[in-house]
Amino acid sequence: MLIQTKAIVIKENNVGETDRLVTMLTEKAGVIRAFARGARNVKSKALSATRLFCYSEMSIWASSDKYVIREAQSIEVFFGLRGDVAKIALASYFSQLLLELAPSEEESADYLRLMLNCLHFLEKDTKPAAQIKSIFELRLLSMAGYMPAIEACVGCGAFESARMYFDVQRGEVMCEKCHVGGVPLSISVVSAMRYIIYSDFKKVFSFELTDDALKTLADISERYVLAQTGRGYSALEFYKTVK
């Protein structure tokens, strides 16, 4: 079966002298691994189109046990990421999260859209990296079935109090009166979390926070990722050392 789909490469491995094994997030088939034969040959049309973080139009042959890239034409290569170690590290962290949470063998257009938009803003420096990271983490988790219950206090139903408390293990928010433990958050941070999760995708990047609030948002979204997936990420640790 031949699959025509747009895809972004989220992992690449060299195989033999000229081949490449790539893991891609595709629009039509989710996360798949495919061979690109001769892709490392300087004359290959797939040379750049199958590189890490390249967004391409793919023609993929799918058999019962493997995928093989027949043709690949690059659409966006995100050159602006490649000269910045911190940006590459953060993009690699996004890729590792996709490998953990994005579906396989099913339509994944929303996941692809999220990745592409975050890489665009990261490349262009039009939004703070901490904001892009938080949006990617919270939106991805929500899409993958880990949406936190933050619309109101789980104890009394209060929409807000001067300070709210978020339980990263249970994914629940509580008010000052009801909380037993949890991470204290200002209402501005809770509002930003709600906006990221519930807003229309076209508007999800359209909010601003003070530096302190953005730092708190970045911290709580990261802690929520680690708690819900139950593992660490090497690219995240590297990002922290170079950002």
Summarised one tens digit per residue, pLDDT across range 111-150 is 999 999 999 999 999 999 999 999 999 999 999 999 999 9
Nearest CA to 155 out of 167, 146, 141, 138 is that of 167
Bridge partner list, 241: none
CA angle in degrees (0–180, nearest 5) for 130-124-202:
75
pLDDT over threshold 80, residue 93: yes
Q: How many CB atoms lie within 10 A of CB 173?
A: 27
pLDDT for the residue numbered 43: 67
Question: What pLDDT, in 10s, does the model give residues 33-86?
Answer: 998 887 777 667 777 788 999 999 999 998 877 899 989 999 999 999 988 999
> Stretch 228-233: mean pLDDT, rounded?
98
Domains recognised in the chain with CATH numbers: 2-79 (2.40.50.140), 127-230 (no CATH)
CA 234/CA 232 separation, integer angstroms: 7
pLDDT over threshold 90, residue 1: no
Beta-carbon contacts of 203 under 8 Å, excluding residues fewer than 6 positions away, are none
CA 18/CA 16 separation, integer angstroms: 6
pLDDT for the residue numbered 160: 93
pLDDT for the residue numbered 42: 67
Mean pLDDT for the chain overall: 94
Question: What pLDDT, in 10s, does the model give residues 17-44?
Answer: 888 999 999 999 999 999 888 777 766 7
pLDDT more than 90, % of the chain: 82
